[in-house]
Amino acid sequence: MKAKKLAIVGATGAVGQEMLKVLEKRNFPYDELVLLASARSAGKKINFRGQEYTVQELKEDSFKGIDLALFSAGGSITKKFAPVAVESGTIVVDNSSAYRMDPEVPLVVPEINPQDAKKHKGILANPNCSTIIMLMAVYPIHKLYGIKRIVVSTYQAASGAGAAAMQELEDQAKAMLAGDQPPTEAFPFPLAFNVFSHNSSLYPDNGFNQEEVKMVKESHKILGTESIRISPTCIRVGTFRAHAESIHMELDREGDLDEVRKALSGFPGVQLKDDTEKNHFPMPLEVSGQDDVFVGRIRWDLGDEGHKNLQLFCVGDQLLKGAALNAVQIAEIL
């Protein structure tokens, strides 16, 4: 059998580093590994599976002989280098938003639409982190009853904005506790001890930001239907790497909470954390570093007439199921 050569584009970044851990944990099969990043990181040594790798600068000829490349270096790098990679015969799984809405590019959550992966023409896209985490909690219920409408509020960690943003959150916390001015470069405002509307730009015509519109459009593409109305509010909170979401769903028909719990706990990649007695529900601190999306606070809307309006709270690790893990799972399908 021909040796399989794998590349990570953005290997020094927050998601790239998690990709390496996920590949190791899942014993992903490959014969050779190439780590690519910007010129700034060229020559840097990374130890992985007992071997020392030297990071190489990403260039147009980096993809010669590479079978599969996992990209996580931002949209503009993907736009520039993914077509070059495909031209060299490399299959690309991309974590940026560059190709997600391209009709030729499958957008895949392996537990939900694995069949779409097979239709790829060289590039596959990993969905937005908030979209993946929401759909993991919503899809088992959609399969059970059908969903008319979703109202969702996110509580998003710093990791979605990369390694520099995570470092900035730590530096801000230290600075503020010391009574100093917090550094703000990665985000427009201090994130430590704070909450603010998602930093992606706003569409002036409807008042929604890019992150919120991604959640709507990507969910429709993954579920293969535009019939579900989705209304998100995306918020950044001062946590490091797990996103939380409060979700309200209007169902097509009346539901049953035991059935809902059964559907969620039986769904691969989802775990219930719904301890009403101890008031202990999913939390970023406990979910960080875990593969699964955790769901709790499962209840009917107080104003619900009949059981058609369901509410829940979920948390997923943004760097794992929201990015690196989902990308490696897509690669596993291939």
**Binding residues with ligand A2P: total (CB under 6 A):** 18
Site string for ligand A2P, 67-96 (x = CB under 6 A): ------xx--x-------------------
What separation in angstroms does the CA of 175 have from each of 157, 168, 195?
19, 10, 17
Give 10 or 110: the residue with its C-beta nearer to ligand A2P.
10
Burial class (CB in 10 A: 0-12, 13-18, 19+), 181: exposed
Kind and range of the H or E element at 56? strand 56-57
Given 163, 244, 325, 327, the residue binding ligand A2P (CB under 6 A): 163
The answer to whether the CB of 76 falls within 8 A of the CB of 13 is no
Q: Measure the CA–CA gap between 36 and 57, rounded to whole angstroms.
A: 6
Give 216 or 328: the residue with its C-beta nearer to ligand A2P.
328
Give 107 or 163: the residue with its C-beta nearer to ligand A2P.
163
Q: How far is the CB of 73 from ligand A2P (least distance, A)?
A: 3
Q: What are phi and psi of 312, to 5 degrees?
A: -155, 170
Q: How far is the CB of 21 from ligand A2P (least distance, A)?
A: 14
The single residue listed with the structure tokens 């499958």 is 106
Give 47 or 206: the residue with its C-beta nearer to ligand A2P.
47
199 binds ligand A2P (CB under 6 A): no
Given 25, 29, 31, 40, the residue binding ligand A2P (CB under 6 A): 40
**Alpha helix ranges (H) inside the chain:** 14-25, 75-87, 114-117, 129-145, 163-177, 210-223, 257-265, 284-287, 325-333
Given 12, 156, 199, 329, the residue binding ligand A2P (CB under 6 A): 12
Q: Which of the stretches 34-42, 194-202, 224-232, 233-241 binds ligand A2P when contact is defined by CB under 6 A?
A: 34-42
Residue of 120, 142, 198, 243 marked active site: 243
| Positive or negative torsion for Cα 58, 61, 65, 70 | positive
CB atoms within 10 A of CB 233: 16
CB atoms within 10 A of CB 51: 8
Q: Measure the CA–CA gap between 245 and 155, rounded to whole angstroms.
A: 6
Q: How far is the CB of 296 from ligand A2P (least distance, A)?
A: 29
Q: How far is the CB of 161 from ligand A2P (least distance, A)?
A: 8
The answer to whether the CB of 152 falls within 8 A of the CB of 134 is yes
**Binders in 272-331 for ligand A2P, by CB under 6 A:** none
Closest CA to 94 of 114, 75, 67, 118: 75
Given 110, 140, 160, 162, the residue binding ligand A2P (CB under 6 A): 162
Q: Which residues pair with 57 in a beta bridge?
A: 37
Given 6, 34, 37, 215, the residue binding ligand A2P (CB under 6 A): 37
Q: How far is the CB of 46 from ligand A2P (least distance, A)?
A: 11
264 binds ligand A2P (CB under 6 A): no
43 binds ligand A2P (CB under 6 A): no
Active site residue 198: no
Residue of 129, 142, 198, 234 marked active site: 129
Q: What are phi and psi of 129, to 5 degrees?
A: -60, -45
13 binds ligand A2P (CB under 6 A): yes
Q: Helices H, strands E: what count in the chain?
A: 9, 16
Active site residue 243: yes
Give the residues lining the site for ligand A2P (CB under 6 A).
10-16, 37-38, 40-41, 58, 73-74, 77, 162-164
Catalytic residue annotation: 129, 243
